[in-house]
A and B are shown apart, each in its own frame.
Chain A
Amino acid sequence: MMDKEKYKALFSSPNWDFETIQAADEVTNWVGKEFFKLDTYVNQIEIVTSEQMLDAYSLIGLPTSYPHWKFGKDFVVNQSSYKKGQMGLSYEMVINSDPCISYNMENNSTCMMLLVIAHACQGHNAFFKNNYMFKDWTSADSIIDYMVFARDYIMQCEEEHGAEEVEKVLDACHSLMDHGVDKYKKPPKLSAQKERERLKRLTKVKSENYNELLRTLPAEKEMRQERYKKQRKFPLEPEENLLYFIEKNAPTLDIWKREIVRIVRKVAQYYYPQTMTKVMNEGFATFMHYHIINKLFDLGYLSDGFMLEFIKSHSGVIYQPEYSSPYFSGLNPYTLGFNIFMDIKRICTEPTDEDKLWFPDLIGKDWLEQVHYAMENFRDDSFIAQYLSPKVIRDMKLFAIFDDEDSEFYEIKAIHNERGYRKIREMLSKSYDRSHRIPDIQVDHVDLHKTSKLTLIHNIQDERLLDEEEAESTVRHMRSLWEFPVELHSRNKAGIDEDFYEC
């Protein structure tokens, strides 16, 4: 360790250089490990320009991805709103990989650099490594490798089958991406090497075993009956991973198209934990940068001037406009998550009578251990259901609005008072539930005898119907992959169709 005064001088200069970045990385890493027991992947800090940040945005942080116009569109949209000044770029972007790559904007001040390094390289990084969703669903060490494979594969397809054909398949896959996720079983680890070998083996076996004669042999009668029994209902269980179902069961889809379906499905799966832990992830990273910087100040590594700038930036991050403010755009996940984590610490160290009633298990425990436990074992909906306290509800003055299509009024269902705490907690938790955002659509059956028609069921919840125009186009995409007729029934609880789409 260099002496404190040297660090202080380094961090007090508004202009950073690489010595500053290195020092920032060293001290945040040291404090993170030593005082807050953070367990992280190795960090890779990359300094980028605003244009490179826009690049990173359009590829959602991945250093590489397969070519597609959608990414170009995102780039153009972001670039245009950035240039018009409607949108600022984030100070950092970090991706779930091992080593954990984070992008830092070159025009950050020294204080911002230290903040984002603490935020991303300690907070997010530890979250990626330890939260159960990420542990179970992604393999951080192989994602970049896999994306390289995906890019090469798709570019090869473009060469072989023409860019337009590939684009059609990708468009169709993207429209079903939300429905390309396994929620209940853990996908096998992906590795580019294995993928390539698997692909090679697949083609080889197919071509070696192909024999036109075999197809004409009459099958055993019993076997046929057996098969018929099995096939009466297919699939036996409804399948909600539409992309998976297509990949495995589309009757005539070309192998290369199946592979593209698989690639998009893998990418969707990779992002799945991120969509499920936005509040926790940002909350934890914010909680960590707040503690790390404060600790550094207490230890004498930072000057008062630095802290003033830090406090300003930090409060910017957790600024929550009220519902009536023109800046309001939903609950700020940074704020909500930060407040809950701070509250866990408070309940452990300075519990009130109310806390003793609500959180008997937290009282008197080691706060750091409890924070780690919460960070590791929950996702947004369960995290809120478990930890959103009356105090946070009061502090944020949360209230619940009920919007019924058939009513001419919005109704206030609950406010931040004794009667409302549990309701608000429940409703907020539910709003982070995936099924709340993404319609529940499942493969019901396939007509195996005649038409190969695919039937999908949309289970209507809370009387929420599908957006008709979107549903029509998406069913068309579905058909282009399935290559046989597709129909979609929007079915209510009584089992009656309220809407019907076919293509």
Chain B
Amino acid sequence: MSNIIDRRKNAKGKSTNNRQKFLKRVEDQIKEAIPDILSQESIKDSNGGGKVKVPIKGINEPNFKHDPKSGKKHYIRPGNDKFAEGDKIPKPEGGGSGSGKGKGSNSPEVTQDDFVVILSRDEFLKYFFEDLELPNMVKKYMESTTTFRNQRAGYTKNSVPSRLNVKTSFQHSLARQISIAGAYEQKIRKIEAELEQETEQARKLELQSEIERLLKLKNTIPFFEDVDLRYNNFERVPKPATSAVMFCIMDVSASMGFHEKDIAKRFFTLLYIFLSKQYAKVEIVYIRHHTESKEVDEEEFFNSRESGGTVVAPSLKLMHKIMQERYDPQVWNVYCCQASDGDVWSNGDAVECSQILKNDVLPNIQYMAYIEIKNRGLEGYLWHAYKKLRKEGNFSMRNINDVSQIWPVFKALFKKKSLVTEEA
């Protein structure tokens, strides 16, 4: 008779292997498409995996087939509503699309436009960060992947004596002894009851000896059997030896409009995705500043409308302070990203900023990126003051004035060391 099988619980992803092979084939096209995603939609959405448009041309499977335009062909169509034999119908202008689509539909050649590949989060990140790495991160990151620690993971029945867990083993032993003794006890009680009823002497003796035998068995239940023994079980888990903290410093002075904040936000988000791929634990400290500086939460950072004039230096001081209090650079990988339109109250403020960076911040952190969101030609005070810091290995600065520039700039700031060329 028929077999009925529920396949639904079977492992998913039977096509994964073939899918990977296919993705590998269109890898270049995916990489090309990624900057588009970045400039078109919110980065936070891309976080869960992106949609990539891949033109089907690159992955054609050729075979010998007829040119649909050539030759003399007959087609049979259903639903004649107005034609009589011998009617002539002009072909559509241009011939191409009109005759191509309707006519060829009986044949397997289906015209396909670009179709969309949906990448999972991991796949997306893989392509996204393919050529990137966090500067100065290599050493600590390597450490983090090579150290393991043993983590308790329940009990196992087979292991070395030194890992014997006495308490659990004893519990098992006790349980076994009680249950087995109980079974004997029951039997004994049954036989004793029978003994009382019994009158025949021979049978009595027989029952008595049986009781004795059972008692003996009951009293000689071994204290430990192999089945009782439990050993502590350990699992090797990779130990993230390092964690990272990212300071996001944003200028929210009146001159930063929606457009500027949007770009800054995208940039920070990108950096966050990047960091969270590399580190098990990433913390973010949001600092916003106008005339005064304040540590805020994410919500307030991006959405608060509070605004005022621009004084930058206190925000860097604040960062330094927080770092000293909470994020010891010996333990934490510290990153900083500052976004501003470059306007400052006075040149003195800019000079102070550059000094704080040089003396207090840069020596203690892994990397700092400064992005200036500005589409005016003149350099701001801040840009001017920061220029001298460029020779510090862990400082980069770039100008962004359009969403589409975020990805190239991000790439330039974080490209692998081997690829770094002298900054313009």
Contacts and interface: CB of A to CB of B under 8 A. Distances in A.
Contacts of A167: 21
Interface residues of A, number: 103
B15 A72 contact: yes
B88 A25 contact: no
A401 interface: yes
A44 B7 CA distance: 11
B62 interface: yes
Interface stretch (A5-13, A254-262, A316-324): A316-324
A175 B4 contact: no
Contact of B62 (A397, A398, A470): A470
Interface in A52-107: 52, 54-55, 58-59, 67-73, 75-77, 79-81, 83-84, 99, 103, 106
Contacts of B64: 176, 178-179, 438-439, 441, 458, 466, 470-471, 474
Contact of A474 (B2, B62, B103): B62
B227 to A, nearest CB: 38
B4 A52 contact: no
Contacts of B89: 401, 409-412
A477 B62 contact: yes
Given A70-B61, A324-B81, A462 B72 contact: yes
Interface in A389-416: 396-405, 407-416
A428 interface: yes
A400 B72 contact: no
Nearest to A121: B2
Contacts of A228: none
Interface stretch (B115-123, B254-262, B375-383): B115-123
B74 A322 contact: no
Contact of B112 (A77, A177, A401, A417): A77
Interface string B67-87: 111111111111111011111
A109 B8 CA distance: 16
Contacts of A320: 78-79
Contacts of B60: 473
B20 interface: yes
Interface stretch (A215-223, A245-253, A298-306, A327-335): A327-335
Interface in A462-496: 462-471, 473-474, 477
A115 B20 CA distance: 36
A266 to B, nearest CB: 18
Interface string A167-208: 100010011111100000000000000000000000000000
Interface stretch (B22-30, B171-179, B299-307): B22-30
A470 B10 CA distance: 40
Interface string A28-46: 0100000000000011111
Contacts of A25: 1-2, 4
Interface residues of B, number: 65
A405 B3 CA distance: 54
B106 A330 contact: yes
Contacts of B71: 405, 462-465
Nearest to B71: A464
A465 B66 contact: yes
A52 B64 CA distance: 32
Given A177-B63, A465-B67, A323 B4 contact: no
Nearest to A488: B64
A48 B59 CA distance: 29
A366 interface: no
A236 to B, nearest CB: 24
Interface in B82-132: 83-91, 99, 102-103, 105-108, 112, 115-118
Nearest to B54: A76
A80 B113 CA distance: 12
A52 B3 CA distance: 18
Nearest to B76: A428
B14 interface: yes
B382 to A, nearest CB: 46
Contacts of B359: none
Nearest to B9: A49
B84 A415 contact: yes
Interface string B182-216: 00000000000000000000000000000000000
B6 interface: yes
B17 interface: yes
A176 B74 contact: no
Contacts of B75: 400-401, 403, 431
A107 B421 CA distance: 57
B178 to A, nearest CB: 42
B15 A413 contact: no
A145 interface: no
Contacts of A114: none
Most buried by B among A52, A79, A103, A403: A403
A21 B76 contact: no
B74 A401 contact: yes
Contacts of A72: 15, 17-23
B153 interface: no
B77 to A, nearest CB: 4
9 contacts: A43-B3, A398-B76, A408-B90, A417-B85, A431-B74, A431-B106, A466-B64, A474-B62, A474-B64
Query: Across chains A and B, which 9 residue pairs bring their CB atoms closest together, nearest first?
Result: A322-B79, A72-B22, A464-B71, A72-B18, A473-B62, A323-B77, A69-B21, A43-B2, A409-B88
Given A397-B80, A404-B72, A431-B76, 13 more contacts: A44-B3, A48-B8, A49-B8, A72-B17, A83-B118, A328-B102, A331-B76, A403-B75, A405-B70, A405-B72, A411-B89, A412-B88, A474-B64
Interface of B: 1-8, 10, 12, 14-15, 17-25, 59-81, 83-91, 99, 102-103, 105-108, 112, 115-118
